Amino acid sequence: MKQTIVSGMRPTGKLHLGHYLGVIQNWVQLQDKYDCYFFAADWHALTTKYDKTEDLRQNTLDVIMDWLACGIDPEKSTIYVQSLVPEIAELNIYLGMITPQNWVERDPCLKDMAKILKSKEGQASQINFGLMGYPVLMSSDIMMFNADYVPVGIDQVAHIEITRDITRRFNNLYGEFFHEAKPLLNHCSLICGLDGNKMGKSFNNDIKISDTEEVTAKKIMTAITDRSRLRKDDPGHPDDCEVAFKYWKIFGSEEEIKIVQDECIKGQRGCAQCKRQLAEKINSTLAPIRQKRKYYEEHQDEVIKIIEDGSQRARLKAKEVLSQVRNLVKMY
Ligand code: TRP
Ligand code: SF4
């Protein structure tokens, strides 16, 4: 019996290279070894964006098309939409009953979210009941499939700690049933944004998986290089080249990296030329992914079918778990 993995993403729009290199590539690897459940967390998106839902459906499709393009395989993994598995909401009720208020109040992830909200105006600055329940809902996602591992970024670990606390409490109260899910941290190097800060869609410094080659090339031309370099035959310092050379190290072969480095140091390589080449390199790496994404964009009915089948499959497992939970909690 394979161990189970659950992970999700809030559908906030098209994914960028940070998601691809930092999260999805890892998921793709896990698919062969584990029984994987990957989902679009549309309820979690509602916790903060309940007043702006016009793009939510399209965002959900976009996220899942990006996954499929990157190699998440519906034959291997269960791909679904959170809100299409209503069993999660019922589990959320039981878990909410056994979660002390102060466990969610001291959740550092939630504190950060609350800080961002407070800077907004009017109704949008409120912390709603649903947002308070964020870690409980996340626990429901994870426990719904009795997960053993949850691949997440370091920023989500505090949530998983709450999940483990809730799991222990459930098992103590009603009998040993749930596994204590462990976070699975991904140690791959993070790709920075074009401006050298963390890559993020709201920072306007990202390259999307679904960007065209032209857009990618234009964006790469804005990447920060060695700031001390004025003319193209000045000797450069790859180690001070804040973004472009870092991208080379991610996308280039060892040989290519060596050539870039040597030519840069000797002043034989202008930054513009260097970045044009880099863009070609990135574009050729992404070409098969983009081709696959284009296929899904043109066949969205297939994507919808994958989501519906996946959600159906997820529900079968969720119903099994839920009937045991109902039994343990002594529901009628
Ligand atoms: N909170 C996660 C994020 O913002 C998304 C998420 C929701 C999740 N439920 C989950 C991740 C369950 C892992 C497991 O990235
Ligand atoms: Fe960076 Fe390339 Fe310019 Fe060197 S030549 S500073 S590696 S962009």
Q: Whose CA is nearest to atom 13 of ligand 1?
A: 7
What separation in Å is there between the alpha carbon of 270 and the centre of ligand 2?
7
Domain that holds residue 243: 211-292
- Do 187 and 242 lie in a common domain? no
- Do 141 and 42 lie in a common domain? yes
Q: Whose CA is nearest to atom 3 of ligand 1?
A: 9
Average pLDDT over residues 285-299: 98
Model confidence at 301, pLDDT cuts 50, 70, 90, reads very high
pLDDT score of 121: 75
- Do 111 and 163 lie in a common domain? yes
What separation in Å is there between the alpha carbon of 6 and the centre of ligand 2?
40
The answer to whether the CB of 133 is under 6 A from ligand 2 is no
- Do 236 and 266 lie in a common domain? yes
Q: What percent of the chain has pLDDT over 90?
A: 87
The answer to whether the CB of 150 is under 6 A from ligand 1 is yes
The answer to whether the CB of 46 is under 6 A from ligand 1 is no
In Å, how far are 12, 154, 241, 256, 291 from 285, measured between CA atoms? Answer: 25, 27, 22, 14, 11
- Do 240 and 134 lie in a common domain? no
Q: Whose CA is nearest to atom 4 of ligand 2?
A: 264
- Do 66 and 99 lie in a common domain? yes
Q: Looking at the predicted structure, is the pLDDT value of residue 123 above 90?
A: no
Report pLDDT digits (tens) over 43-93: 999 999 999 999 999 999 999 999 999 999 999 999 999 999 999 999 999
- Do 31 and 125 lie in a common domain? yes
Model confidence at 189, pLDDT cuts 50, 70, 90, reads low
The answer to whether the CB of 61 is under 6 A from ligand 1 is no
- Do 43 and 125 lie in a common domain? yes
Measured from the Cα of 275, ligand 2's closest atom is: 8
- Global pTM reads 0.94
- Do 102 and 137 lie in a common domain? yes
pLDDT score of 155: 87
* Pairing outcome for strands 78-81 and 149-152: unpaired
pLDDT score of 122: 75
- Do 104 and 37 lie in a common domain? yes
